[in-house]
A and B are shown apart, each in its own frame.
Chain A
Amino acid sequence: MKITVTRSGGIAGLTREWVVRVEEQGDPDSWFRLVEQLPWRPRHRSAPQPDRYVYRIAVSRRRITLPEQELTGPWRQLVDRVRDAAEQPEKD
């Protein structure tokens, strides 16, 4: 299972992307448990706030776009975890 997080916007307008293959992680089961908790829902509801980030998240073939202020609960956990895991090699 591949998870891609694309963060765009912010006052700097820089787009960053983090990719993780769950099977290559130390404990794939905990990743699957987190993915099962994700509250998928139709397009985001709130109006954009100027200069906040926009997150585009793809888990296998499912996709969602969330403004930063709606990145809460399991979505926030997922994004933080993907980012940490994807950046791990750079920290070595």
Chain B
Amino acid sequence: MRHTIVPPYLLRRLTTLEDPAMAHVAQAALQSLAMDESIRRHRAVAVEHGAQRGARRLGPPARSIFDAEQTETVPGTLVRSEGEDPGPDIAVDEAYDGFGHTHALFRQVYGRASIDDDNLPLLGTVHFGRDYENAFWDGERMVFGDGDGMVFGRFTASLSVIGHELAHGVTQYTANLIYRGQSGALNESISDVFGALVEQRVLGHTAESASWIIGTGLFTDRVEGLGLRSMKAPGTAYDDDVLGKDPQPASMEDYIDTVDDNGGVHLNSGIPNRAFYLAATAIGGEAWSSAGQIWYDTVSGGTISASCDFAAFARATAGAAADRFGVDSIEHVAVTGAWAAVGVGM
């Protein structure tokens, strides 16, 4: 992140320039102001944290990857520690690299020191179970199966899935949203958001050029589908003879009431997912530094309860957008408009 030597009052004046020829100057000034605000806020947060528990260090990742060797016992055998070279096992190295990319997003963009903001080691287990078609966060570590080879390949093949699992850890240490019903769907959506953002940042994709697909590359060639979910158009990620059609709703009108899946947490997450996509594209550019920053502020800000529903979360994101970027800023307007578009009232 760059610092600016232009004082804030001058930047504010530059943003009001009306001459079309100076439009780019006004825009640049706006961006610098937003960046300054972001830096000031990070400093304030860092000072606050430092005061709470002494000097806080924004350390490098401390990764350990284990191999369950097709059993369901975790952690398994340690196969790669931080700083060790890649080996012959692609799943091990994908997990290692994916943790690194996700750690970097939280550290470099949001100033967060790992999952717990206190440099928690990142633990991963690969080759979990036999034909295991899943990945999960067990409260301490990220666990990945190899898939059945018919529908799913190995779950480390998707960076957005690795980011999704690590983000469950971040949520556990922040808002700690209860994994049921609407708060559970928000927990899921937050993992999709940061999973997508890790991938977009690594690929250099903007909100406009990104796929907004979670789990690209997980399906085998036999499946008719792009991935597990589409944040851009929930309900359209796959349509396959074996899997059926992607069941995700895209707005509150189609909210699904069910006892399965802890109350449909992987289904109704489509609604807040699309709200994020709409906010990010309305703002434009790099989603991780705009809408992503607002969502991160909301999750980590201590203003939402563990049982938070969609409406309360929507209000909190609007508040976070106003705090960071200003009332009626492009960002604030984009966020409120996005929730309205998916039918979530504030």
Contacts and interface: CB of A to CB of B under 8 A. Distances in A.
Interface string A1-41: 00000101111111100000000000000000000000000
B261 A13 contact: yes
Interface in A41-70: 47-54, 56, 65, 69
A9 B269 CA distance: 12
A5 B271 CA distance: 29
Question: Is the contact region of chain B dominated by helix, strand, or loop, or is it mixed?
Answer: mixed
Contacts of B247: 13
B118 interface: no
A6 B133 contact: no
A8 to B, nearest CB: 4
Interface size class of B (residues with CB under 8 A): 20 to 34
Contacts of A56: 259-260
Question: Is the contact region of chain A dominated by helix, strand, or loop, or is it mixed?
Answer: loop
B180 A9 contact: no
Interface in B186-232: 187-188, 191, 215, 218, 228-229
Interface stretch (B103-111, B136-144, B314-322): B136-144
B135 interface: yes
B267 A12 contact: no
B266 A48 contact: no
B17 interface: no
B261 A11 contact: no
B260 A11 contact: no
Nearest to A56: B260
Interface stretch (B43-51, B81-89, B160-168, B292-300): B160-168
A49 B136 contact: yes
A54 B261 CA distance: 6
B145 to A, nearest CB: 9
B133 to A, nearest CB: 7
A13 B266 CA distance: 5
A14 B242 CA distance: 11
B215 A50 contact: no
Given A48-B180, A51-B165, A11 B139 contact: no
A8 B138 CA distance: 17
B344 interface: no
Nearest to A49: B138
Interface string B168-184: 10000000000110001
A11 B262 contact: no
27 contacts: A8-B260, A9-B260, A9-B261, A11-B155, A11-B161, A11-B164, A12-B134, A12-B152, A12-B215, A12-B228, A13-B228, A13-B229, A13-B261, A14-B243, A48-B180, A49-B136, A49-B137, A50-B137, A50-B165, A50-B168, A50-B179, A51-B137, A51-B168, A52-B138, A54-B261, A54-B262, A65-B259
Interface of A: 6, 8-15, 47-54, 56, 65, 69
Interface of B: 133-139, 152, 155, 161, 164-165, 168, 179-180, 184, 187-188, 191, 215, 218, 228-229, 243, 247-248, 259-262, 265-267
Given A10-B133, A11-B215, A13-B261, 19 more contacts: A8-B260, A9-B260, A9-B261, A9-B265, A9-B266, A10-B134, A11-B165, A11-B266, A12-B228, A12-B266, A13-B267, A48-B180, A48-B262, A50-B137, A50-B188, A51-B137, A51-B168, A56-B260, A65-B259
A-B pairs, 4 with minimum CB distance: A13-B266, A8-B260, A51-B136, A8-B261
